[in-house]
Structure 1
Amino acid sequence: MQADGSNASVPSRLAVERVTGLDDDDMQGLCEATSAAILDGGGFGWVKSPGRQVLERYFRGLLMVPERTLFVGRLDGIIVSAAQLVRPPRNNEAQAMSATLMHSYVAPYARGHGLARMLTREVESCARAMGYQVLNLDVRETQVAAIALYRSLDFTHWGTHPHYARVGGRVVRGLFFTKRLQSGGILDA
Structure 2
Amino acid sequence: MTEIAVRVSAERLEEFSGNDLEDLCDATEGAILDGGGFGWVTPPARHVLEAYWRGVLLVPERHLFVGRLDGTIAAAAQTLRPARNNEAQAFALQLTGHFVAPWARGHGLARAIVVAAEQAARAWGFRSINLDVRDSQSAAIKLYESLGYVRWGTHPYYARVEGDIVAGHFYYKNLSETEAPKQEIPLS
TM-score, normalising length from structure 1?
0.91
Q: 1:102 aligns with which of 96, 99, 118?
A: 96
| 1:161 partnered with 2:158 | no
- Tell me the equivalent position of 2:23: 29
* Count of residue pairs the alignment pairs up: 178
Q: 1:145 aligns with which of 139, 145, 152?
A: 139
Instruction: Say which SS state the counterpart of residue 173 (structure 2) adopts.
Output: strand
Is the Cα contact below 8 Å between 2:28 and 2:37 reproduced in 1?
A: no
Pairwise CA RMSD of aligned residues? Answer: 1.3
Q: 2:124 aligns with which of 130, 134, 145?
A: 130
Is the Cα contact below 8 Å between 1:43 and 1:139 reproduced in 2?
A: no
2: distance between equivalents of 1:177 and 1:82?
19
1: distance between equivalents of 2:18 and 2:51?
13
Instruction: Say which SS state the counterpart of residue 55 (structure 1) adopts.
Output: helix
Show CA shifts across 1:108-134 (max 9, x none). 000000110111110011111111111
- Tell me the equivalent position of 2:38: 44
- Tell me the equivalent position of 1:80: 74
Q: 1:17 aligns with which of 8, 11, 20?
A: 11
Unaligned runs of 5+ in 1: 3-7, 185-189
Q: 1:114 aligns with which of 108, 115, 118?
A: 108
Amino acid at match of 2:176: Q
Is the Cα contact below 8 Å between 2:154 and 2:167 reproduced in 1?
A: yes
How far residue 9 of structure 1 moved from its aligned partner, in angstroms, is: 2.2
How far residue 51 of structure 1 moved from its aligned partner, in angstroms, is: 2.2
Q: What is the aligned-residue identity percentage?
A: 55
Unaligned runs of 5+ in 2: 179-188
- Tell me the equivalent position of 1:5: none
Is the Cα contact below 8 Å between 2:158 and 2:168 reproduced in 1?
A: yes
1: distance between equivalents of 2:43 and 2:18?
19
- Tell me the equivalent position of 1:68: 62
Considering only CA atoms, is the larger Rg found in Structure 1 or Structure 2?
1
Judge which range, 131-140 or 18-27, deviates more: 18-27
- Tell me the equivalent position of 1:58: 52
Is the Cα contact below 8 Å between 1:162 and 1:173 reproduced in 2?
A: yes
Amino acid at match of 1:23: S
Moved over 4 A (4+): none
Is the Cα contact below 8 Å between 1:164 and 1:171 reproduced in 2?
A: yes
Amino acid at match of 1:142: S
Is the Cα contact below 8 Å between 2:63 and 2:80 reproduced in 1?
A: yes
Instruction: Say which SS state the counterpart of residue 19 (structure 2) adopts.
Output: helix
